[in-house]
Structure 1
Amino acid sequence: MNRERLSALAHTRHPIASPISDDEVQRLLDRSIPHEDAVVLDLGCGGAEWLIRALAAYPKLRAVGVDTSEFALSRARAAATERGVADRLTLRRQSAAEFPAAAEFDTVLCIGSTHAFGGLTDTLAALRAHVRPGGRALIGDAYWESEPTPAAVEIFGDLPDLPELLDQVIAAGWTPTHGHTSTRGELDAYEWSWTGSLTEWALDHPEDPDQAEALAAAATHRDEWLRDYRHSFGFACVVLRA
């Protein structure tokens, strides 16, 4: 099954592709956007849901989303048109790490996409090149809440704990001004939605050639979540000032 299609189906009921509630998404945007006519960049935007919500909340705001997936960008264009914000959204298909730095954005987002730059430290350095003097950034990244199992480390790699994550932020020259650590409820809701949406699609489309693979992917993901990383995985979003 095409990986991009699988992800789109799994996020049907949770278009913010991170374990964050709708209320917290809006609070984070409000703390990250300095004024109503800001210009915002999202590096690794996927379906651009963060930008679309920001554009809907701030009628004078303009936004640019960057992603390598044409599949995700096509979904973003359709969603932006449906919600009446397409005229203020520019989408670019290219690597986030190769997007030209011009220090012309009031706010830069990178949520769940630090892998595009090779990790958090390199992401933090890259964001500085895009933000105006005095601008802001909103990053979202994973960390270990408790000692992970070997299987969890194999799935997610060598993550920091939360204090170490903030140490990296400060060492990169950023000042944290606000943040949100996903609650157990948010984390569980995201995983239930991911596995459940994919499973429901498969059960509703028994003749689709991807049906069996979708069911298997949902079952594997659910098993890894419940057995390997549910009690150790954490996710934090942090608002930063340059």
Structure 2
Amino acid sequence: MKALITWGGWEGHEPDKVAELFRGILAEAGAEVEVTDSLACFDDAEALRDLDLIVPVWTMSELSKEAAQSVSEAVARGTGLAGCHGGMCDAFRSNVLWQFMTGANWVAHPGGDGVRYRVRMVEDHELTEGIEDFDVESEQYYLHVDPANEVLAVTDFPTVNWYHAANGPVEMPVAWVRRWGHGRVYYNSLGHKASVIEHGPAFEMLRRGLLWAAGGKEEAGEVTGWQAAGNHY
């Protein structure tokens, strides 16, 4: 298994520590892991297609159209994509292809850090089997989410009485899987700090998610034609 972890962006999310946590998970599973703090790794489209897994840890920041297309084409051909919190679904806010591929974009965390909320498993799936509902004290992510996602876990809003509370209760996805072409995509909104995901059920969810996403390469054969008409943005 060959994996790429690239980290950077807003330092408040401890991207270096989260990247190291991910590296440890993948190395323990026997993966050959490259870790970089540069987005230049997305410039080599052929190298990306040779990977089993791409793990972005980049809150905010900017990604070029060409780099996003290179990642998209690699994932469409079977390379997995997995990540957490702002490092994947608050990355590259101006890049709509990235948002489409990952399945959501962050819009708010009412109450900020330190909100106590429950994460509930909602899908009978290999990635959640045996994991019980659990409480988290962290940021509670409100996301604009693709309805095509296969949601594995949710949290209930509103927890904090803010402007959104006037809309009444909603179940907000916390973790999901999806497909992008022949590639597997996994996302988990936990991980504001590395300490939130370094142990317990949150860690186990992410460990399974990373390995699941990396396991899709063997399913993908020779893939062509993913750059169909209408891919302009």
Whichever of the two has the greater Rg, that structure is 1
Whether the TM-score (by the shorter chain) exceeds 0.5 is: no
Report the structure, 1 or 2, having the larger strand content. 2
Report the TM range for the smaller structure's normalisation. 0.3 to 0.5
| More contact order relative to length (CA 8 Å, sep ≥ 6) | 1
Report the structure, 1 or 2, having the larger helix content. 1
**TM norm structure 2:** 0.33
